[in-house]
Chain A
């Protein structure tokens, strides 16, 4: 149950960074034309004449006790309504991209581990190296040029139908597919050298059962870890892809928020993101226990001794 301290810590750091960096919200709200009196008035209204810690305490009080994340300076709507609008979209894109990455990366990674040193290994490994090196925005742009503008298979921008999710999923998922391929490969390579794999073969197990049942289950832990980490990364960090395909997601919202000194917006999004990430980590931990009975045993023992 580390979610609460983590979220508090994150919020404090972000709040501090926003306070330290130059520029003040009032100037942003009014634009360059605002007079000094107007700026001072708005700063007072928003509470920016108060000291830093007082401001942070006020923010926390409002956020926790009144469950009010404040109002966005740019949109003049509540932060929560903005997040609620964008979060599902980001969520959908993240899950799609990750599913794509896993569906492509893990099986190919396993295969290339099993067929180590063959063409089935070298080609995917080299491809993965390339994909990991290519910047997301460039890959996205190339995909867009080819499939959206030349072939016209999918719409280039927006989120009007399921078709519009195809390109962002692939563009966003590709580098992660490459990464998961490499993880799956190295983890599998380690596992298939274990003694129990030889035991399974000695029992007369068919090769596909040896690989997909005995080996993969043991190799899965590091792969799941990396999927969990990637989830948090994509959810809030898919700015390039979101911008490119004009997807109204959380990542681009946070970035514009930072540029516009829209402090409540940025704070709100980041707090929500950090809570979600903590939950994802929790889910990953629970999956560990589900896969590896040794980890489960450790937890149950601890609970027993605590009781």
Chain B
């Protein structure tokens, strides 16, 4: 059994303004082992990015609050850490690739400077500047950008190239955990494939643990060992990739997600979306968050919040499985 690198326990995040409180993340727990990849999937607004940002403690100040929960990184609780201790972890041990490469690079600094900076913050005492410069060339080459382009500014790069720079920046210090927040959403399909392939190769080479946040189930299938499905700030289903992609039983939401992917073999006139919208995150209802949209909704779903049903690695938060995620055969026997 490998070591756990990151463990999130019962995390809650709220955004508070004078007018309302947004319950963005409502008690999620997951753990990630060294060298493994966890995929977090879910709709826009499900709280994926909020979760990622709270791991790095980069949530916007003053409006965001973490009323409950613990985040352990290598045994240390990140939520109790002081700012200067956190700084040593950010970039050095946990690095993040952001959603939009167009805006996540500083327009007035050369890309070389920006990568070098990450190294200076964490390596300046141990290494000479020339060495660090060499490392900048190295990581740029690693992501497929000629090292002599480090004197260029972000506006001189295309979108895919910028995302490569962002990745180079994140990998410069060889972090132990890489959080990729929809790294390919802002890119077009061909570039997406390139960038993903690169992230995967680099991860395998550097043995980095990774959290891949996406709403693309294809990406998850290709990259992840474990998958967590998020809905309205909760993890409604989680397990190994096999659990999610191959098992018989699923949360109705996950079924809906898979049902919305058009099949190549079956003729479909229209796509099959999940009807309805996500519940208003400013409201808290006692029942299941998915109940209003659920095709298998029962009376109990509206009144009581479901508990996790567990079978080995597979967890489903749904009343359908309150007797356990049993095998279909066993169910037949009981009948």
The main secondary structure of chain A at its interface with chain B is helix
Task: Tell me the smallest distance from the CB of B75 to a CB of chain A, in Å.
Answer: 20
A44 at the interface (CB under 8 A from B): no
B77 at the interface (CB under 8 A from A): no
Q: How far is the CA of A291 from the CA of B108 in the complex (A)?
A: 7
Q: How far is the CA of A297 from the CA of B84 in the complex (A)?
A: 38
A199 at the interface (CB under 8 A from B): yes
A200 at the interface (CB under 8 A from B): yes
Residues 55-77 of B, flagged 1 when their CB comes within 8 A of A and 0 if not, give 01010001000000000000000
Q: How far is the CA of A196 from the CA of B58 in the complex (A)?
A: 12
Q: How far is the CA of A194 from the CA of B154 in the complex (A)?
A: 15
Chain A residue at smallest Cβ distance from B94: A202
Q: How far is the CA of A167 from the CA of B36 in the complex (A)?
A: 67
Q: How far is the CA of A196 from the CA of B118 in the complex (A)?
A: 13
CB distance B91 to A203 under 8 Å? Answer: yes
CB distance A203 to B121 under 8 Å? Answer: yes
Chain A residue at smallest Cβ distance from B60: A193
Query: Number of contacting residues on A, CB 8 A?
Result: 23
Q: How far is the CA of A206 from the CA of B316 in the complex (A)?
A: 41
Residues 93-130 of B, flagged 1 when their CB comes within 8 A of A and 0 if not, give 00110101001111111100000011001100000000
Q: How far is the CA of A207 from the CA of B87 in the complex (A)?
A: 9
B149 at the interface (CB under 8 A from A): no
Task: Tell me the smallest distance from the CB of A214 to a CB of chain B, in Å.
Answer: 6
CB distance B108 to A217 under 8 Å? Answer: yes
User: From residue 79 to 96 of chain B, which have CB atoms closer than 8 A to chain A?
Assistant: 83-84, 87-92, 95-96
Q: Contacting A203 at CB < 8 Å: which of B84, B100, B118, B153?
A: B118
User: From residue 257 to 305 of chain A, which have CB atoms closer than 8 A to chain B?
Assistant: 291-294, 297
CB distance B107 to A205 under 8 Å? Answer: no
Tell me which residues across on chain A come within 8 A of B121, comparing CB atoms.
Answer: 203-206
Tell me which residues across on chain B come within 8 A of A199, comparing CB atoms.
Answer: 98, 104-106, 166, 169
A-B contact pairs, 13 of them (CB 8 A): A194-B103, A198-B58, A200-B106, A202-B58, A202-B96, A203-B90, A205-B87, A206-B87, A206-B121, A292-B108, A293-B110, A294-B107, A297-B156
A: residues with CB less than 8 A from B are 116-117, 194-196, 198-207, 214, 217-218, 291-294, 297
Known: A199-B98, A199-B169, A205-B87. 6 other contacts (CB 8 A): A116-B62, A195-B98, A202-B58, A203-B118, A204-B122, A297-B153
B: residues with CB less than 8 A from A are 56, 58, 62, 83-84, 87-92, 95-96, 98, 100, 103-110, 117-118, 121-122, 153, 155-156, 166, 169
